[in-house]
Amino acid sequence: MTGYQSVSFQESSTSDTERVDILLSQMTLAEKIGQMTQVEKNSITPEAVTEYGIGSVLSGGGGSPAPNTPQMWARMTRRFQEAALRSRLGVPLLYGVDAIHGHNNVAGATIFPHNVGLGATHDPELAARIGRITAVELSATHVHWNFTPCVAVPQDIRWGRTYEGFGEQTDLVSEMGAAAVRGLQEADDYSGLSHRQAILACAKHFVGDGGAAWGSAGQYEWIQDNWQRAGSQYQIDQGDMNGDEATLRAVHLPPYQVAIEAGARSIMVSFSSWNGLKLHAHKYLLTDVLKREMGFTGFLVSDWMAIDQLDPDFYTCVVTAVNAGLDMIMVPFDYRRFILTLTQAVEKGDVPLARIEDAARRILAVKEEMGLFAQPWGDESLLPQVGCQAHRQVAREAVRRSLVLLKNEGALPLPKNTPRLLVAGAAADDVGLQCGGWTIEWQGKSGPITPGTTFLAGVRETVAAETAVNYQPDGRFPANLTADAGIVVLSEPPYAEGVGDRADLTLPASDLALIERARPHCRRLIVILYSGRPLIITDCLPRCDAFIAAWLPGSEGQGISDVLFGDYPFSGKLPFTWPRSMNQIPACAAEDTPLFPYGYGLTTKGGK
């Protein structure tokens, strides 16, 4: 092989910095810009990766091979990496995915609770263990880069990304986010990013996306492929945070400082704006604050087509974003246009060559830290561990520790030998509804979309052999059928990002009707809610004897049964204030009382 790998790369006397400088000195402008380019996998061929020296390829939500198996994922990513190694200088690429609750694009992978549920555990050690397991499953498929953790601090639960946040309090988000970074990046021997099972974390979305105002999301009519045009559901996602710098620094900035201290070497910039200026154009925050003041020496990556929102003129978009401090651009489609545009901008002097060299150096330095030049592969020997029982046991533990018991009037724990149990609600037997968005597909989907254990299956596995479990998805039980206990499972439909922006978080009338149909058939009624955020449940609370916030628990629904029947105690605590009415959203006034305060959660005794 020619180029970089032939000039003292492996010499022990050469430092990491010197090796990067040697490589950079050999690179053409085209090769430096190639490193700054990230392309969606369906929009580029391996041959083009070689030709353009592309720095990164990604799978967006649902960007899976066919068939969607761990083995096919490994084959797909290997082809792209092999292509990168055939480029003139043989610079390895970073393959990136949004594995935000496990390797969630891969059918059969372990799907953990979304971050809102992990926030309810208030346990950073658990978050780190989940990060480590996710890293192992990613490494098995040659994925080196994970666009997580989300360290947003959501202040308005109408936001469709609320469940990607660990909670509403800065300290909780900082602690859990840093733990997630360590879990992804630190292998068991603590050898750092150079270990084959270490995965590059990406703190996101810098900065203030959790503070955006309702109704501030923009529309960008000049973008041909603009997913927002499909409807008006985007109301707060990608919106504008209106506020002073003191609030930005006190509430939204600290999780990034802590993530950097934990070892984060990549940060994704937010679609959102601060006081009207898009973050992708915000040189003060990206360069002056993040890179200089906070000392971040890794690289910044844009979000999906986000630079296109800066201006109707694409040339202006590219110049503005790169000069603001973006190092890698998630194009994600027309990479040739981006490369040509940035090349022209440098040739015209609108983007300084020093800015290109700084960006390329940052990207190459992280690849060097990761040991990709010496070992560009993951570890396919780990493929049998993708979705293995040991990993699912940790996911099951995370489920039971994330559950928040909001009401219990003598109903829980349930005896396993209860003679008869009634179960109602389609969500009770639906893995897809348990998992929510960002599962197999970008928006998620109901049904058996990936292997897992539904709540109903977990109940049947847990109760005594003589217990009769009667299940009716619509709650229409025979008139003469009664039981000591009934369980109704409710669920938000799956969603992701701005598609989940929702003006009214009140439980739909159909859910209240389901409760009303089940109530006469049981002496004690337990309601379980799958949701990515608190919903307005005030009207249904008097109709049940126990209420459980189960968040979006993922593939291991049996974790709910573990707690419901007393093998383990309820221990979760609310990561968000639970409002009494929509009048308390986005914030509950100081003189008002929420339905349940931040940190609330009843406990029960557990048998194990």
Residue 473: name the closest of 508, 514, 436 by CA.
514
CA dihedral 281, 284, 290, 292 (to 10 degrees): 130
Looking at residue 226, its pLDDT comes to 64
Quick one: pLDDT band at residue 135, thresholds 50, 70, 90? very high
Q: Judge whether 3-384 and 389-584 match in fold.
A: no
Domain boundaries, the chain: 3-384, 389-584
Residue type, 557: G
Looking at residue 110, its pLDDT comes to 98
Quick one: pLDDT band at residue 7, thresholds 50, 70, 90? very low
Residue 579 DSSP SS3:
coil
Looking at residue 192, its pLDDT comes to 79
Residue 58 DSSP SS3:
strand
Burial 133-159 (b: 16+ CB within 10 A, else e): bbbbbbbbbbbbbbbbbbbbbbbbbbb
Looking at residue 166, its pLDDT comes to 99
Q: Give the dihedral sign, CA 513/517/519/522.
A: negative
- Could you count the other beta carbons within 10 Å of the beta carbon of residue 592? 12
- Could you count the other beta carbons within 10 Å of the beta carbon of residue 509? 8
Q: Is 334 a catalytic residue?
A: no
| Interacting residues of 372 by C-beta distance below 8 A, sequence separation 6+ | 92, 94, 144
Give me the helices (H) in 170-266, please: 170-185, 245-247, 254-261
Looking at residue 350, its pLDDT comes to 98
Looking at residue 13, its pLDDT comes to 55
Is domain 389-584 classified as CATH 3.30.565.10? no
Residue 412: name the closest of 607, 568, 546 by CA.
546
Position 1 pLDDT exceeds 80: no
Summarize the confidence of residues 480-509 as an average pLDDT.
Answer: 97
- Which CATH code of 3.40.50.740, 3.20.20.300, 3.90.226.10, 3.30.43.10 fits the domain covering 3-384? 3.20.20.300
The single residue of 497, 511, 556, 562 carrying the catalytic annotation is 497
Summarize the confidence of residues 308-336 as an average pLDDT.
Answer: 98
Q: Tokens for 548?
A: 């459980």
| Interacting residues of 250 by C-beta distance below 8 A, sequence separation 6+ | 170
| Interacting residues of 456 by C-beta distance below 8 A, sequence separation 6+ | 423, 428, 429, 469, 471, 557
Average pLDDT along the chain: 95
d(CA 140, CA 167): 31
218-235 pLDDT, tens digit each: 989 898 776 655 456 899
Q: Is 539 a catalytic residue?
A: no
Position 606 pLDDT exceeds 90: no
Q: Report in angstroms the alpha-carbon separations of 98 from 119, 545, 596.
A: 19, 39, 32
323-334 pLDDT, tens digit each: 999 999 999 999
Looking at residue 14, its pLDDT comes to 73
Stated length of the chain: 608
The single residue of 168, 175, 186, 303 carrying the catalytic annotation is 303
Looking at residue 250, its pLDDT comes to 98
